[in-house]
Amino acid sequence: MASFDRRTLITGAVAAFALPGVALAGPVPADNNLHFAIFRNGKPFGQYNVQFATSGDLLTVTTDVTMSMKLAKLNVFDYQHHCVETWRGGKFVSMSANSIRDRQRDQTKFVTAERRDFGIRITTNTGPLDAPVNAVPLTHWNQATLQGPIFNPEDGLMLTLTATPMGRESILLANGQRINATHWALRGKQQIDEWYDDAGLWVALRAVFPDKSIIEYRRV
């Protein structure tokens, strides 16, 4: 079957104009949820759901991703990702994530991250990693993370892509309606495009993969 870059499915990029300091948490939707339908070459491919919970100045963000593909009624691709972030006072505190492909234990990845005094301590299946104190996981809901530096919530590695603002344009939602949104073009090893609405909430994603397939997230 075609080869998929799973890291691209759940991550974005570091902005070219990265500024010093710590990225703050982005806006939270009124109903505390963001739901996306995922398409591959225009056909249903999965779901991407983000749930927000606030308690005082503590924000907990839970992301669940499921993707699958069948050929001749056989399931040839199955992917699941679960990620929990905590932000306090608008600043990133910690994250834990796990990802599994084709329901195989040897395909499972675990990542934890915790802010410390002088950096972010990241622990993965393959060992510990260190990231700058202002690093945050790139989970698309937070447009503010385009300021970077960013690490991948699936494998804990730093991302070094470039984000360029492309202005306003009309973007398609899952229900067939269109809204005006701000477009960011993310370029590097991957080719990704992101859109955010007037409230700063994530609206859509489009990515091109090595097999030339087009992956789209459309907000429900």
Reported as a single tens digit per residue, the pLDDT across 178-214 is: 999 999 988 887 788 999 999 999 999 999 877 889 9
Tell me whether residue 162 is in a domain.
yes
Confidence of residue 106 (pLDDT cuts 50, 70, 90): low
Q: Mean per-residue pLDDT for 30-55? A: 96
Residue 7 confidence (pLDDT) above 60: no
Reported as a single tens digit per residue, the pLDDT across 10-26 is: 443 333 333 345 678 88
What pLDDT sits at residue 132? 93
Residue 84 confidence (pLDDT) above 90: yes
Residue 8 confidence (pLDDT) above 50: no
Residue 177 confidence (pLDDT) above 60: yes
Residue 139 confidence (pLDDT) above 60: yes
Tell me whether residue 48 is in a domain.
yes
In angstroms, the Cα distances linking 74 to 37, 43, 68, 98, 106 are 21, 16, 10, 25, 21
What pLDDT sits at residue 94? 97
Tell me whether residue 212 is in a domain.
yes
Tell me whether residue 137 is in a domain.
yes
Tell me whether residue 167 is in a domain.
yes
Question: What is the rounded distance in angstroms from the CA atom of residue 160 to the CA atom of residue 43?
Answer: 30
Percent of the chain exceeding pLDDT 70 equals 88
Question: What is the rounded distance in angstroms from the CA atom of residue 185 to the CA atom of residue 110?
Answer: 29
Strand partners, 49: 35, 64
Torsion, Cα 118 120 123 126, to 10 degrees, reads -90
Q: Mean per-residue pLDDT for 164-180? A: 95
pTM over 0.95: no
Q: Tokens 């500024």 label which residue?
A: 19
Tell me whether residue 123 is in a domain.
yes
Which residues have CB under 8 Å from 75's CB, separation 6+? Answer: 68, 69
Tell me whether residue 1 is in a domain.
no
Confidence of residue 143 (pLDDT cuts 50, 70, 90): confident
What pLDDT sits at residue 21? 58
Parent domain of 194: 6-219
What pLDDT sits at residue 17? 31
What pLDDT sits at residue 186? 82
- Tell me the average pLDDT of the chain: 86
What pLDDT sits at residue 3? 36
> How many structural domains is the chain composed of?
1
In angstroms, the Cα distances linking 167 to 182, 183, 195, 197 are 6, 6, 10, 12
What pLDDT sits at residue 155? 93
CATH number of domain containing 99 = 2.50.20
* Helix, coil or strand: residue 143: helix
Tell me whether residue 144 is in a domain.
yes
Most confident of 46-60, 127-141, 152-166: 46-60
